[in-house]
Structure 1
Amino acid sequence: MKNIVIIPALNPDDNLEKLAEKNIALGQEVIVVNDGSLSRYNAVFERLKDKCTVLEHAMNLGKGEAIKTALRYIKDENQRCDYIGIMDADGQHLPEDMAALLKAAARYGSSLILGSRTINNDVPWKSRMGNIITRKMFHMVSGQFISDTQTGLRAFPAGMLELMSEVKGSRYEYEMNVLIICAQRGISMKEVPIKTIYHDKENSCSHFHKIKDSFRIYRDLFKFSASSFSSFILDYGLFVVFSVILPSSSWGVMTANIAARVISAGYNYSMNCRFVFYEKKTLKTALDYLALAAFILVINSLALEAFTAGLGIPVYTAKIMTECVLFITSWIVQKYMIFRKAGQKGGSGSGQRKEALS
């Protein structure tokens, strides 16, 4: 089994050489990406060229671009490998933990493996608060819980190389976008506990910019939420219009609901492709989305009929209640059916449970 570890680096200290050497000693091949470091760090990268592959950016392009540069190199140079790992260059990740993630990737096959730190009071406050906010927002918009959404220690099978190299994002937002894409596609995500290492209380060795990089990370989460909310507004508005035009009978209400749902679903699909996930409209994605939309439409129509005809609830109130039922139903289906099924395909069981290091 051949593994490749990618280490993006910007103005690294001596930890980088130690990380590369230890990973090599553990049997991994290493690709270091010099992401536009200052010239005084050239000696570090020159020494590394005798031990591993070193790729270089003429200027700083960001962590996401550095990772994708290495992924494209693996693809373009036809570097045969089974599993790929990614780790930070600042010494916050242990090579032994990287090896544990690669072992977990081999165990679960088609899953994204995340190195999960223990987020407690020993973690610098800005890192702790950032992780709490981000994981709650990610859970809210995706229906999945990841305890450490900001971890930079990850591993995945080579079969995901194409997907990972096409995820949008140049800097730290790339890592969040990977989670969003995996959640959207039903790719199982597994967490493996790793050691939590910070050099000081302010985590001064990090190149993370609180304002700029936080905006980039949350921007795509907000876009994901905005797409869903605007689709709901469109759906409800069209339903009101159609219900006024059509007869006030059971079939009229049903027709208004179906027509509104079909239009709003098409709108939501286009918005997600163009502004959220940046994917081309393909027959496969359209058919996948159509299947999900058809299922939701059936549940939506049955609930609306039950509220109006069965319980005699006014139609506009019933529509709001129906959307609430739909939200709960959608969450249950994703959590206990779609993502559980994805996990079983990888031979891993269900959920995002943490695995013990072995």
Structure 2
Amino acid sequence: MVILIPAYEPDGQLPALIRSIRNVRPRASIVVVDDGSGPAFRDVFDDVRSLGCHLVSYARNRGKGFALRAGFGFIADKLPGRDVVCADSDGQHTVADILRVADRLRENRVLPWGQATMVLGSRSFAGNVPARSRLGNAATGLLFTLATGERIPDTQTGLRGYPADLLPWLRSVRGDRYEFELNLLLEAKTNGYAIDPVDIATVYLDHNSGSHFRPLADSARIYAPLLKFLASSFTAFLVDTLVFVLLTVAIDSLLLAVVGARAVSSAVNFLVNRHLVFAHGREQPAHATGIRYFALVAVLLAANFGFVWALQAMAVPALPAKLLAEIALLAISFAVQQRFLFTGGATMHATGGPRRTRTHIRA
């Protein structure tokens, strides 16, 4: 097992964390990535190197996602075949919790179904938690559930464990800053990987003053993939509803109105999802993906029609019935598209391998 710690302008919490790890696991392999902290922090990283850590560094700050990929690349090249536990440098993760995540990784390796599983250290956000952290995680969790149909207790945790087999895929996921960790969760199910939450302590030192999270810029990066999913669905919903209303006025047939509206909106939704929403949408041939997509449309259309018909039989007007049906089927539609339709290879992204920069590696 390797412990990977990305660090940008760290304080004394970083060497203190490493000393605590060394007290419990003296021979643990620890990789620290200096994310362009600059000369002012050389003493901290010299201290880290003196504690027997591998140090990966580069001159310019590139963001947490870039730092993690640089660390994954070093581990894949120099320490191959080892599981990786990622922890933050600011003292928010206790040694006991880091080892708890590592132990769960080992336990998952012997499970009978053999599915590659990432482990998330999941905080409860109880007690004295900064408001921006509590609200930010709640908002991200809600949007994640709406977009994917999956519920994860802590989508923003930095304490995560990855089996060695996932390293090639981890290096291919997009995002250079905090959005990288959310993109991992969004793409995990698509690539057939499981997510296993493990309870950990909720620790914030000095109201999280050491965090380099930028509330506006980084929140926009984090929420962008989720909002993109929802925006695509909402656009199709508006098209579908508009065409449905027009057809109910023009023709006296609920079936034709539902079918016609869905034919138009599904074509719009397919094009938007394939080209703009799903990262691997254009990796598959358009005709093959289109056949699967419109087969899904047919199934959802039948369910939609049955739902609307049942509601109208209960004296619910056509438009409210339509709204309720769309909401009920939204999560199912996205989950199927993400998992089975717009999926790509598990190791490389459509735009190629991970972006690289010149790094200096010291052990």
TM-score by length of 2: 0.76
Matched to 2:126, the amino acid is N
Residues 51-76 of structure 1, C-alpha deviations (whole Å, 9 max, x = no match): 1211112011111111111122233x
Partner of 2:354: none
Equivalent-residue separation in structure 1 for 2:226 and 2:232 (angstroms)? 10
Partner of 1:120: 126
- SS of aligned partner of 1:31: strand
RMSD (Å) for aligned C-alpha atoms: 3.6
Contact kept, 8 Å, 2:273 with 2:281, in 1: the verdict is no
Q: Does 1:229 align with 2:227?
A: no
Residues 153-184 of structure 1, C-alpha deviations (whole Å, 9 max, x = no match): 11121222233222222222222222222355
Q: Does 1:217 align with 2:222?
A: yes
- Which of 257, 263, 274 is the aligned partner of 1:259? 263
Equivalent-residue separation in structure 1 for 2:213 and 2:128 (angstroms)? 19
- SS of aligned partner of 2:55: strand
Residues 297-346 of structure 1, C-alpha deviations (whole Å, 9 max, x = no match): 223235426746996899xx6576356325424546989xx99xxxxxxx
Structure 1 runs, 4 residues or longer, greater than 6 Å off:
240-245, 332-335
Contact kept, 8 Å, 2:270 with 2:293, in 1: the verdict is no
Residues 183-221 of structure 1, C-alpha deviations (whole Å, 9 max, x = no match): 555643221111222222x32121122222222222332
Equivalent-residue separation in structure 2 for 1:184 and 1:322 (angstroms)? 29
Residues 260-287 of structure 1, C-alpha deviations (whole Å, 9 max, x = no match): 254134224324xx3x443351228986
Consecutive unaligned residues of structure 1, counting only runs of 5 or more, are 340-358
- Which of 112, 121, 140 is the aligned partner of 1:134? 140
Equivalent-residue separation in structure 1 for 2:78 and 2:69 (angstroms)? 15
Partner of 1:14: 12
Partner of 2:321: 321
Matched to 1:191, the amino acid is P
What pairs up with 1:91-110 in 2 under 5 angstroms? Answer: 91-109=91-109, 110=116
Equivalent-residue separation in structure 2 for 1:250 and 1:130 (angstroms)? 43
**Quick one: structure 1 residues 237 and 40, their matched pair in 2 at CA, closer, same or farther if it must change by over 3 Å?**
same
Contact kept, 8 Å, 1:9 with 1:32, in 2: the verdict is yes
Partner of 1:5: 3
TM-score by length of 1: 0.77
Partner of 1:69: 70
What pairs up with 1:346-357 in 2 under 5 angstroms? Answer: none
What pairs up with 1:79-228 in 2 under 5 angstroms? Answer: 79-109=79-109, 110-182=116-188, 187-200=193-206, 202-228=207-233
Partner of 2:34: 34
- SS of aligned partner of 1:8: strand
Identical-residue share of aligned pairs (%): 30
**Quick one: structure 1 residues 82 and 257, their matched pair in 2 at CA, closer, same or farther if it must change by over 3 Å?**
farther
Deviation of 1:128 after TM superposition, in Å, equals: 1.9
Deviation of 1:257 after TM superposition, in Å, equals: 4.8
